[in-house]
Amino acid sequence: MSYDLVVIGTGPGGYVCAIRAAQLGLKVAVVEKRKTHGGTCLNVGCIPSKALLHASEMFEEASHTFPSLGITVGKPKLDLKQMLVHKQETIDANVNGVAFLLKKNKIDPFHGTASIPAAGKVVVTAEDGKTQELETKNIVIATGSESAALPGVTTDEKTVVTSTGALELTSVPKELLVVGAGVIGLEIGSVWARLGAKVTVVEYLDRILPGMDDEIAKQFQRILQKQGFTFHLGSKVTKVDVAKKGGATVTVEPAAGGEAKTLNADIVLVAIGRRPNTDGLGLDKAGVATERGRVVIDDHFKTNVDGIYAIGDVVRGPMLAHKAEDEGVAVAEILAGKHGHVNYDAIPGIVYTAPEVAAIGKTEEELKAAGIAYKVGKFPFTANGRARAMRHTDGFVKFLADATTDRVLGCHIIGPHAGDLIAEVTVLMEFGGSAEDLARTCHAHPTLAEAVKEAALAVDKRPIHM
Ligand code: FAD
């Protein structure tokens, strides 16, 4: 069988790439080794975690916010089995949606593990060992990533789990120990904390959310502590002993070395990051270069081998679904003779906890390190009428704008619906806008978005409501 394009992997990068290429008239096939399409994101990542985050947040609201709103429902009772059904139904609706879209766009789906014997060829090995060879003008590798392992610690997905196992627990752990204070660890930790687990987080660095704005991370840590989280920062897990009767003893040492202590947990979640997934692709045979596991690409997503491209988690840049999607669109457009492009300076990153944390562009620390003069504008949700009406006033909006030109260089939000609020700043930055542009844009009242406008006004020291 002969194609213009074979895409390996149908995560957000791969399936979006395939659809855009088909829209542009290319003959496209996809190869996926999972039973369902949608990749990490739809099957075991973004979607199931958000289904559980939403459900557990509703549980928390019913327990703690409803009474203050004048709603009495009694003590809410957890039906974890139904919550997991909700999660699975959400996954099913999304993965079936992708299968439908592939069909609608006349894309041929192949199920099996793909390997690349040479440019122009993809071999698909099905579960029963049968192979099929596809001929193609171009290949896009979109094989994503997997949970990174903690040296010396074996995950059994029962007591010591990755994010995948942590989204499938059938009972609420009494004590959950999370290794790693990044986005995934804190999101999944929040789910189980809201449902009753005592959550302890061990982090190697002396801060949470590495890479995010320091001031935001500090405030977020305080909020999580109020929610019952315990943090051991500047600490490393050196050993996990799983007991026969269940549970584990975790040995923790200061990151810089020193006396070890032990912590007990029913479940240990290893969330120390993700590693690019190129297993079984046979990149050596095809001569495709990798660097620290990631497929090396140029500015147009091309590897060192003509006709072979790569996108998403398997290449450089933030491991985010929307980054993978945008790269999928861009490479499809390039292959169709257009000028696909991704603006890496305007990719938002969200932590879907309560409150949410959202960021785009540079942090204050990055601007200081680069010697760029900047102005700061901040506005707290305590001064926003809508946030008060919702009783969700934790957090603030922070703008960073160029001191001379007023161009927005970054925006960081911790607060209710921060993930949605950041969208207008993303558009603003995409168009090279200034804080003044946003400050002079009419915002509906009463909305949380008014806090974003007020923070933009605060860059010029003229917020109205503060
Ligand atoms: P993937 O989604 O990993 O898809 C790759 C696909 O390739 C997989 O289906 C795999 O089976 C297939 N594959 C691999 N090798 C082969 C082969 N040889 N042959 C055939 N098929 C193959 N990102 C966000 O932006 N927002 C979030 O809220 C978010 N939440 C997350 C929560 C969790 C718990 C996790 C784990 C991740 C989360 N992410 C989130 C990250 C997001 O899932 C990834 O960035 C995204 O899935 C990357 O897309 P991708 O297409 O590059 O790869």
The preferred substitution site among 17, 43, 46 for testing ligand 1, maximizing ligand atoms within 8 Å of CB, is 46
pLDDT at 1: 79
Q: How many CA atoms lie within 13 A of 444 on its CB side?
A: 4
Residue of the CA atom closest to atom 34 of ligand 1: 45
Ligand 1 centroid to residue 119 C-alpha, Å: 24
* Opening angle at CA 438, ends 387 and 365, nearest 5: 80
Contacts (Cβ under 8 Å, ≥6 apart) of 415: 355, 356, 381, 387, 392, 394, 395, 396, 397, 421, 448, 451
User: Could you list the active site residues?
Assistant: 445
Tokens 């050596």: give the residue. Answer: 284
Q: Give the pocket of ligand 1 (CB within 6 Å).
A: 8-14, 31-34, 39-41, 45-46, 49, 113-114, 142-145, 163, 184, 277, 280-281, 312-313, 319-322, 324, 352
Q: What does the block give as tokens for 164?
A: 């995948």
Of 23, 55, 262, which Cα lies nearest the Cα of 172? 55
pLDDT at 102: 98
pLDDT at 133: 97
Of 203, 294, 296, which Cα lies nearest the Cα of 254? 203
Ligand 1 centroid to residue 142 C-alpha, Å: 9
Residue of the CA atom closest to atom 40 of ligand 1: 46
Q: Which residues of 148-171 are buried (b: 16+ CB within 10 A; e: fewer)?
A: bebeebebeeebbbbbbbbbbbee
Residue of the CA atom closest to atom 12 of ligand 1: 9
- Which atom of ligand 1 lies nearest, measured to the CA of 312? 52
Q: Helix or strand or coil: residue 120? A: coil
Cα distance between residue 136 and residue 119, in whole Å: 8
What ranges in 296-339 are assigned the alpha helix state H?
321-335
Cα distance between residue 358 and residue 356, in whole Å: 7
- Which atom of ligand 1 lies nearest, measured to the CA of 15? 51
Residue of the CA atom closest to atom 45 of ligand 1: 320
ipTM of the complex: 0.99
Of 380, 449, 442, 377, which Cα lies nearest the Cα of 410? 377
Q: Which residues of 256-265 are buried (b: 16+ CB within 10 A; e: fewer)?
A: eeeeeeebeb
pLDDT at 53: 98
The preferred substitution site among 47, 116, 139, 143 for testing ligand 1, maximizing ligand atoms within 8 Å of CB, is 143
Ligand 1 centroid to residue 383 C-alpha, Å: 39
- Which atom of ligand 1 lies nearest, measured to the CA of 31? 20
Q: Which residues of the chain have pLDDT under 70?
A: none
- Which atom of ligand 1 lies nearest, measured to the CA of 147? 36
Ligand 1 centroid to residue 444 C-alpha, Å: 36
Instruction: Name the pTM for this structure.
Output: 0.97
